[in-house]
Amino acid sequence: MAIASRYQRQRRVTRGAWKSRFTKQRINYRGTTKPTTPVLSSISPTTGVAGAPNQTVTCTGTGFVSGITKVTVGSLDLPTTFVSATSVTFVMPLPTLVAGTQTVNVRNGTLFSTTPKTYTVSTPTAVTLTSISPTTGVHGAANQTVTCTGTGYVTGVTEATVDGVAQPTTFVSATSVTFPMPLPGMAAGTVSVNVRNGAQVGAAKTYTVT
């Protein structure tokens, strides 16, 4: 009788534990929100230049869910930043794109928006570099603002380079951009300064570090 009693108690405990786990699983399953179909209303900006720096694009719509909503460009998922239920952002990889159009969409799992948007990648315009000012600086001194003058400069696209390395560039006008010459880390000698719109480059100028 003692053995039977222990067996019955163990059976009741085992059945009770299994039932408890089963109930919790049912509750968890029922408590999970199934993703809905997102709606993509607009993207901004809608254009970029092939070969330009990466560009952050904002997608506006409804039904966006943190950790679930993904942006697709063509057939590829891109890293997506959740902002709110109506907004997500992603980075358009302009350095790797060629001129043409790209289809941008959003999805929640296998549920895609039925209103994808078109993003246009344009060919970079020709750019020229007529002069830089100043043309000299002292090694180890503070950063020095250099002005590049020429034509074809485009906001968010034109970059100034020093020996081929892009520098933080401030757009002033279609004929002028500026950048800080990093004199604190430079040795005496000469460097090549240029401007570029993606694959389009100007005629380099020489800057002397004394």
* pLDDT at position 18 over 80: no
pTM score above 0.95: no
Distance separating alpha carbons of residues 128 and 149, to the nearest angstrom: 8
Q: What is the DSSP letter of 52?
A: S
Peptide bond into 134 cis (omega under 30): yes
φ, ψ (nearest 5 deg) of residue 144 = -120, 130
* pLDDT at position 162 over 50: yes
pLDDT tens digits for 90-142?
999 998 999 999 999 999 999 999 999 999 999 988 999 999 999 999 999 99
Pairing of strands 117-122, 136-137: unpaired
Quote the pLDDT of residue 26.
42
Instruction: Name the residue type at position 21.
Output: R
Within 13 Å of residue 32, how many CA atoms lie on the same side as its CB?
Answer: 7
Pairing of strands 136-137, 144-151: unpaired
